[in-house]
Amino acid sequence: MSRGRTRLGRCSTGVASAAAALAALVSSGCGSARSAPATTAPPAPRPFRIVFPEGFTRLQMAERVRVVARIAERERHEPVRLGERAYLLASQRGRVPCFSRAERRDLEGFLFPATYDFLPETTARALVAAQIAAFCREWRSVDLAYAASRNLTPYDVLKIASMVEAEAAVPGDRALVAAVIYNRLRAGMQLGIDATLRYGLHIPPTQSITESELHDPTPYNTRLHYGLPPTPIDNPGLASIEAAAHPARLGYLYYARVPGTKRHRFFESATAYDRYLAAHGYGPH
């Protein structure tokens, strides 16, 4: 999750001293330069809180907004401006300043998963802007030199991070899953990651993928198509982004879930991989 919380409100300054705070409020239009009230200002309203876990898609975030907004209205007995439809509209496209000045037509991957505080008047546009700002703060700390040496763009790294987030359920597997993706790309193999197909066809994780879906020509079907999917498939956290930028320097090409755990076993050869699958009754990964 995030290193802290982001608070969203109309007149929040974050300035420590009273004098500096007053100056900031005046300059931002939230106060008056002519006189200050003699009485103590009422305490600021307690903000609501919304948590977006790592790996949530834009649609899942919109659903979380709907649920939290409904709870907030019920608890505070007043309307809030945040809503599912407004969030979907605000998060559909926009600018990500740490990537380019041009507007991006798909913000999946850039909506940083973290805990955000909001007030009744907070808009969906303000929430999305806070998520993009949080993404850029974290993104600027990532060293992309190794990925660039493998001819991967920053957007490629973000796509890989989203797949790492979807596939690695324990921290120790992240860099290993990233290694498999790098190695398969270099070897000219299909990635074969079912999480991308689930994203493209909106298949829930609890639902089995049918034989016909495995052959669906959606560009997110990495069993059929070579290379990376068209976009990230979720919104990864910093740990998965770091793993995507710095994969393990190992020769793994395959992995499979260890029965009864969330961990994976990794393999360099198809023979060892197939033997493991057969021994544990798995179908192809």
Per-residue pLDDT tens digits for 74-92: 998 999 999 999 999 999 9
In this prediction, residue 100 carries a pLDDT of: 87
Residue closest to 264 by CA, chosen among 253, 113, 212, 241: 253
What mean pLDDT do residues 215-223 have?
Answer: 97
Q: What torsion do the CA atoms of 237, 241, 242, 245 make, to the nearest 10 degrees? A: 180
| Residue 218 token pair | 């959606």
Mean pLDDT of 238-262: 96
Mean pLDDT of the region 54-66: 98
Q: Which of 24-38, 56-70, 167-181, 234-248 shows the lowest mean pLDDT across its residues? A: 24-38
Neighbours of 206 (CB within 10 A): 5
Average pLDDT over residues 194-213: 95
> What is the reported pLDDT for 37?
54
- Mean local confidence (pLDDT), 103-129: 97
pLDDT score recorded for residue 6: 67
For 89-126, b/e burial (b = at least 16 CB within 10 A) is: ebbeebebeebeeeebeebbbbbbbbebbbbbebbbeb
Asked if 229 and 192 touch (Cβ cutoff 8 Å), the reply is no
Whether pLDDT at 273 is above 70: yes
On average, the pLDDT of the chain sits at 88
Please report the pLDDT score of residue 29 as a whole number: 38
pLDDT attached to residue 281: 78
Res 15 pLDDT > 50? no
pLDDT tens digits, 125-183: 999 999 999 999 999 999 999 999 999 999 999 999 999 999 999 999 999 999 999 99
CA nearest neighbour of 156 among 194, 193, 182: 182
Interval 267-276 mean pLDDT: 95
Rounded to an integer, the average pLDDT of 268-277 is: 95
The β-bridge partners of 266 are 255
